[in-house]
Amino acid sequence: MQHLPILPILLPMLAAVFMLLPPLSNSITRHRFFAVSVMIILVIVSATLLLTSHQQGTQMYVLGGWQPPFGIALVADRLSTMMVLLTSLLALGAQLYACAGDDHDGMYFHPLFMFLVMGVNGAFLTGDIFNLFVFFEVLLIASYALLIHGGGKQKTKATVHYVILNLVGSSIFLFALGILYGTIGSLNMEDMANKVRLLGEHEQALAKTGGLLLLVVFGLKAALLPLHFWLPKTYAAASAPVAALFAIMTKVGVYSILRVHTTIFGEDAGALASIIIPWLWPLALITLTMGAIGVLASPSLRLTAANLVIVSVGTLMLAIAMQREAATSAALYYMIHSTLATGALFLIADLISKQRGKAEDRYVTARKMNQGKVIGIAFFIAALTVVGMPPLSGFVGKILILQAAQGMAEIVWVWPVILLAGLACLVAISRAGTTLFWRSAGESTNYIPISRLKLAAIALLLSASPLLVMFGGPVTTYTSLAAAQLHDNKAQSAYTILPKGDK
């Protein structure tokens, strides 16, 4: 149990390496069985880690016995373990869907998939900003290959734009790290939080520059306006299981903003407290607005789902900008809901695309789908969830965020934007449903049965929404405790240290 905090990183990494070696490398069937088995184990490990950190307190895993701020440390608290479990569940659903045939379009799908999961889990668990950069690069390199998996002109074009933008983002990240290390003298988040309030006037200016550069980098990862333009076409071009897994990628950026700017530049940072808030409010409002407009303007279900990701990012940024525990707790609940719901919608869009032939998932009249009833039920549940209609989790998440707004200034800005964005999403999803399922011309000539494995993957992700409502009490209690722990700098120092090895 003492090695539990590092297992969400080690398991996918070792699994990826083993799948590149004989005898696993010679068979796609072996890849599938091994990958799904490892992912199920990863879900169990992630759930165990979450319960351990919840019941026993934050676990700090010190690699090699080198204590912070000099050594590499992994921090498993309520927030990071929640995100790791969310990643594992989403990855399991996406991988089950891929095992029905989508993984056969190109080489090394499952090893790349595992490396991406490793990078995402590492980004959530690391307690050091430089290691956050390292894990960013791991997940990005894997995402480059997965995005172009299977080939095609559209994928190649989207990949080139995606790679160039993220290379620029990585360069800015390094500049920010250099500035912060030069002024604060550390890149360990806990140590930086203790030292940032002691900086002199000139050092404060440099540290503020570094902090704002990090906002640019994390804003690019999260698709925060005006750095969001890469996302719709990139996600729409990816294969369905990859697009579903990419639903967690923007949340890595959101998590990084929440973690870094609450821990290091939070309320106790002195002159550098809340340096991003004057920027975050307008950016969040505009991101949510542009995402809603993008949803209305989308010509296909995949692009609609991609723009719904932007809507979720804008909503989360609004909650983070409020800077209080209740808002952060609401954001965490909404993050779980939106990640799994949009992931499921990408998979449903792929089913529709394959049933409608050349029309794919575009909003045009086409022949009827052979299994339209089954897909229609899945679409209806997903639509209610992403739009935020009762009684599913989207409604609860939005209500929690609206309730977190305090004072007339916040209410005037937050309520109308979220409600109008919800109305825009309702109109767009209604148009999508009526066009895809009701406007048909003739019977289908090609019968393509839906794999039960694909239906199981979609059911797994969609089941999260009613479960989040049924167990809303325990879930919101947990997110409240996670938010309180994040906002309490003293609690972040109360780690259970698990030393590993001798110096």
Nearest in space to 86 (alpha carbons), one of 319, 325, 335, 314? 335
Residue 321 sits at the vertex; the CA angle it makes with 303 and 465, to the nearest 5 degrees, is 50
Q: What is the pLDDT of residue 502?
A: 41
- What element of type H or E holds 32? helix 28-56
pTM of the model: 0.94
Given the DSSP bridges, would you call strands 59-62 and 73-76 parallel, antiparallel or unpaired?
antiparallel
Nearest in space to 251 (alpha carbons), one of 189, 192, 168, 320? 320
pLDDT in tens, 149-195: 877 778 888 888 899 999 999 999 999 999 999 999 899 999 999 99
Average pLDDT over residues 104-122: 91
CA distances from 128 to 123, 181, 190, 199, 303 (A): 9, 12, 8, 20, 35
Residue 445 has pLDDT above 60, yes or no: no
Q: What is the pLDDT of residue 357?
A: 79
pLDDT in tens, 304-324: 999 999 999 999 999 999 989
Residue 456: HSE in the Cβ half-sphere, 13 Å Cα cutoff:
10
Give me the DSSP letters along 88-136.
HHHHHHHHHHHTTTGGGSSS-HHHHHHHHHHHHHHHHHBSBHHHHHHHH
Buried-exposed string 262-282: b where 16+ CB fall within 10 A, e elsewhere = bbbbbebbeebeebbeeebbe
Domain extent listing, the chain: 279-470
Q: How confident is the model at residue 494 (pLDDT cuts 50, 70, 90)?
A: very low
Angstrom distance (rounded) from CA 491 to CA 215: 25
Q: What is the pLDDT of residue 442?
A: 65
Distance of CA 236 to the CA centre of its chain: 16
Residue 250 has pLDDT above 70, yes or no: yes
Angstrom distance (rounded) from CA 173 to CA 160: 20
Q: How confident is the model at residue 490 (pLDDT cuts 50, 70, 90)?
A: low
**Residues near 89 by beta carbon (within 8 Å), at least 6 away in sequence:** 43, 340, 460, 461, 464
End-to-end CA distance of the chain: 22
